[in-house]
Amino acid sequence: MSFQSDSKGSPGDFFDLLERSGYRWQARIDPAQTQKDFAVTQGTTVLAFHFEGGVIVAGDRRATAGNSIMYEHCDKVIPIDDYSLMAIAGVPATAFEMARILTHNFEFFRRSQMQSMSGEGKIRALSRLLKENVSMAVQGLGGVSPIFATYDLRARKPSIHFYDMLGADFQIRTHTATGSGSPTIRGILEHEDLWGEKPLAQRPESSAVTLAIRLLQTAAQFDSATGKARPEDKIFPTIAIITEAGYRFMNDQELADICKTSLQR
């Protein structure tokens, strides 16, 4: 049986391999420089919640830098392995690098230990990256607020985890959201879970997808950094589903058909 831990030199420890190879995760930026010296691109808003049979992870597509809209096709829901997704609000450059390291980490463990990393191991790996990124985050140059969703094949159930800037993780029983549009989303999700037609975890996939699209559209009404779905311009939110079969992203045609009905008044 393989052993997995955070200690240096343990079998399957990809972070130790990076350090021994001379790679340093933290970017080197002069501490005297502050966020005002850079046009830092930011991404918002993302959410995740349990539905019947799995987890839905969603995000808008807008990236901003200050008051400027930089990009309307940003992918904020990132595959990590066949059963795991990371949704990011914050600096995309930092988040994408985290995602690449995590992907290689999980694959390195699988190949070296001849088995997939446990759900707990995956959760700790992202926590470690965030802890090592604190210096960048406090400078306002590399802050990331991620949601990690995965299906644990050993426990045979999906899970959602939210992380703070210091890397502390919190398992989410029902729903979560992060980013500048998240206050509106969290309030609606809580209302829907408590007083909607069914608790979120009992809703079918079609209902969950419709709700996710409407939530992001509502957030965009109150938050200029959150991009609206614009079917006429072929701009749709990112919607992904995780079940025991793995993750699946909804394609533009599926989203276009759903938006025709879900966004009608």
Give tens-digit pLDDT for 199-221: 999 999 999 999 999 999 999 99
Structure tokens at 212: 């996710």
pLDDT at 158 over 90: yes
Mean pLDDT of the chain: 88
Catalytic residue among 34, 44, 64, 94: 44
What average pLDDT does the segment 244-260 reach?
A: 96
* Domains by residue range for the chain, with CATH: 40-262 (3.60.20.10)
Whether residue 210 lies in the annotated active site? no
Query: What single-letter amino acid sits at 235?
Result: I
Spatial separation of the C-alpha atoms in residues 231 and 235, rounded to whole Å? 6
The share of the chain scoring above pLDDT 70, in percent, equals: 89
pLDDT tens, residue by residue, 37-51? 556 778 789 999 999
What per-residue string of b and e applies to 123-142 under the rule 16 or more CB within 10 Å gives b? bbbbbbbbeebeebbebebb
- Strand-pairing partners, residue 71, are 63
pLDDT at 9 over 90: no
> Which has more pLDDT, 76 or 3?
76
> Which has more pLDDT, 4 or 255?
255
Please give the pLDDT value at position 244: 96
What average pLDDT does the segment 178-194 reach?
A: 96
What average pLDDT does the segment 107-112 reach?
A: 93
pLDDT tens, residue by residue, 124-152? 999 999 998 888 777 777 789 999 999 99
Q: Containing H/E element for 146?
A: strand 144-152
Spatial separation of the C-alpha atoms in residues 243 and 204, rounded to whole Å? 12
pLDDT at 10 over 60: yes
